[in-house]
Amino acid sequence: MHLGLSLHSVSRGFSEFCSQLSPGAWLQASSMLLAAVLAIVGAWIAAASAYGRANKLHWEEAEFHRLREQAAEREHINGVLHALRQELIQLWFILAGDVAKPIEAVEPSRKVLPYWPCNQNYFSVFDASAAAIGQVQNEVLRTGLVRTFMLAKRFVDQYQRYDRVHDSVTLAPSDGQDMSSNSTYALHAGAFALVETYQTLKANVEQLRDLLDDELGLARVSLPFIDSVPSSKNAGETRQGLAPQVPR
């Protein structure tokens, strides 16, 4: 009740005050009120504009950093792909120069393959590039990389086992022991498995070579026993990791 009386008193006092104002005073008060409102609105617009500019600048900076990181990532992945391509080509040149010819001509049931010292250190780039390979956008290329190098590792593992069997068989006569039928069977079975893996690896190397060349925009490198059979004239170049010259 006291609050209602107080509000009534204030209202009456304000009405009496306003009734005593002249028209000029009313105009002046209205002008001041309008100016205050305009100042408030102007300040709000300026603040909103500044906030919008700050947000836009922040977004542009974030987008610039994002694009720069994407470009750096693409450059890194391309560098890894170049290195993998070279590792693949040099690996095939080594294989072609050392054992591809006898493997191409071998009859596993009648002949044995030559001794070939090999180890998994041939795959240093592939072993160190798992994260980059996982970021390759081209799924066919990504799958081809993993499959081809896994086949190459399998081939090396199989040849290491074959070398051990070969050593045990060839050393047996010098020890005065006869070559057992089991050892002979293991030798021929190992040769047969190597030929099969070699043919699968050969097809995958060719496919991966083409995928990498297309991805990187590079010219084809002629690979021995894939694009051509090296002659005795360029066999030395094959062993040195040089592309054999293909007659036009």
Does residue 114 lie within any of the structural domains? yes
Q: Rounded to an integer, what distance in angstroms lies between the CA atom of residue 74 and that of residue 69?
A: 9
Does residue 189 lie within any of the structural domains? yes
Does residue 203 lie within any of the structural domains? yes
**Domain range enclosing 96:** 74-239
Q: How many CB atoms lie within 10 A of CB 21?
A: 12
pLDDT score for 6: 63
pLDDT score for 92: 95
pLDDT score for 245: 41
Whose structure tokens read 């609050």?
Answer: 3
pLDDT score for 173: 54
Q: In this structure, are residues 212 and 233 in contact, taking their beta carbons and an 8 Å threshold?
A: no
Q: Rounded to an integer, what distance in angstroms lies between the CA atom of residue 131 and that of residue 212?
A: 18
Average model confidence (pLDDT) for the chain?
79
pLDDT in tens, 63-121: 777 778 878 888 999 999 999 999 999 999 999 999 998 888 876 556 678 888 887 67
Does residue 89 lie within any of the structural domains? yes
Averaged pLDDT for residues 240-245: 48
Does residue 199 lie within any of the structural domains? yes
Q: In this structure, are residues 121 and 87 in contact, taking their beta carbons and an 8 Å threshold?
A: no
Q: Rounded to an integer, what distance in angstroms lies between the CA atom of residue 121 and that of residue 129?
A: 14
Residues 6+ apart with CB under 8 A from 221: 89, 209, 213, 243
Q: Which residue has the higher pLDDT, 57 or 207?
A: 207
Q: Rounded to an integer, what distance in angstroms lies between the CA atom of residue 83 and that of residue 89?
A: 10
Does residue 182 lie within any of the structural domains? yes
Does residue 207 lie within any of the structural domains? yes
Q: Is the pLDDT of residue 27 over 60?
A: yes
pLDDT band at 246 (very low <50, low <70, confident <90, very high): very low
Does residue 2 lie within any of the structural domains? no
pLDDT in tens, 168-194: 776 655 544 555 566 677 788 888 889
> Hey, what are 116's tokens?
């070939």
Whose structure tokens read 């991805």?
Answer: 215
Q: In this structure, are residues 99 and 114 in contact, taking their beta carbons and an 8 Å threshold?
A: yes
Q: Which residue has the higher pLDDT, 97 or 48?
A: 97
Share of the chain above pLDDT 70, in %: 73
pLDDT score for 248: 31
pLDDT band at 247 (very low <50, low <70, confident <90, very high): very low
Q: What letter represents residue 235's amino acid?
A: A
User: How many domains, the chain?
Assistant: 1
Q: What letter represents residue 164's amino acid?
A: R
Q: Which CA distances in Å does 212 have to 78, 86, 153?
A: 10, 10, 19
